[in-house]
Amino acid sequence: MSIKYGFIAVAAVALTATAAVLVQKNVNWQDILTARSLPETSQSVQESPSEAFSSELASVPDKEFSAGGESQTSGQSETEEASKTPVQTEEEWQLILVNSDHAIDQSFKPELSEVQNGYLMDKRVVGNAQRMIQDAREQGVELLVCSGYRSYESQQQHFDSSVQSLKNSGYTEAAAIASTQQLIARPGTSEHQTGLALDIVTPSYQGLDDGYAETDAAKWLLKHAAEYGFILRYPKDKEEITKISFEPWHYRYVGKQAATEIMEEGICLEEYFEK
């Protein structure tokens, strides 16, 4: 995407004006998958004060950008290859795109607050998520958050642990990495690091599998999540675009206007930016 800064003119008596230059940065990224993890607790926020959402650490593509292909190499080196660009405007912080082509800086961390049972998310979104959970409960549906914000380091541990476990089972390193990518996002490519994504199940069905889509909780979310600014991030029929398997439990905050448009049109976030 292109980030345009305003022109600055400095005039002198009897002299002509000069203009500032236009700066443009491009972003390359990696593939992304989500996985359940232990919560980053509210206590950890007290021990390590969270940084404010920095416009220098996030990326929001313009709607002409199209997602690229899936990366084949592994580990932190891939994330380091991706360049980062600032958000376009303060109002678009909720539209940050994190996927195989759009990485997030290792140091990125939003201001966090607890949403449910020790799980954290961006404090600007907590109110919406809690209202959604409460409204569902009043309608007889129990929503249970099983993952929220995850740090880069936590994601790295999950990814490495899965790769090592598969290698111990006889997989080659390449095969272990490929299999892990089907379940766990590479560090720097997980939406959970943005603090805007939640994995939501229900007490009676906590499995992260396709069967969850048949529960009352999943059906309620599919119908009502947009009213609170959330979208089903990885729909079943958009896997070739998102590069992510169907995840009926993974919901992402994008704001009510964008969420309504995305859910009503049956598109994914990548397609929203391509419009």
The token duo for 190 is 């997980």
Q: What is the per-residue pLDDT across 45-87, written as a single tens digit (0 to 9) for each?
A: 333 323 333 333 333 443 332 233 333 333 444 434 443 433 3
Q: What is the pLDDT of residue 247?
A: 95
184-236 per-position pLDDT tens digit = 889 999 999 999 999 999 999 999 999 999 999 999 999 999 999 999 999 99
Per-residue confidence band for 159, with pLDDT thresholds at 50, 70 and 90: very high
Q: What is the pLDDT of residue 91?
A: 60
Residue 182: predicted pLDDT: 76
Average pLDDT, the chain: 76
Q: What is the pLDDT of residue 40?
A: 58
Task: Name the active-site residue from 247, 264, 265, 274.
Answer: 247
Give the span between the Cα atoms of 157 and 159, in whole angstroms: 5
Banded pLDDT at 35 (limits 50, 70, 90): very low
What pLDDT shows up at residue 275? 86
Rounded distance between C-alpha atoms, residue 234 and residue 268, angstroms: 7
Mean pLDDT of the region 149-166 = 95
Mean pLDDT value of segment 240-259: 95
Does domain 41-274 fall under CATH 3.30.1380.10? My reply is yes
The Cα 241–Cα 238 span in angstroms is 5
Average pLDDT over residues 166-190: 91
**pLDDT score of 5:** 35
* pLDDT tens track for 88-147: 455 689 999 999 899 999 999 999 999 999 999 999 999 999 999 999 999 999 999 999
Domain ranges of the chain: 41-274
Task: Determine whether 247 is an active site residue.
Answer: yes
Q: What is the largest CA-CA distance in the chain?
A: 78
CA distance 85 to 102: 10
The 10s digit of each residue's pLDDT in 91-106 is: 689 999 999 899 999 9
Name the helix (H) or strand (E) containing 116: strand 112-116
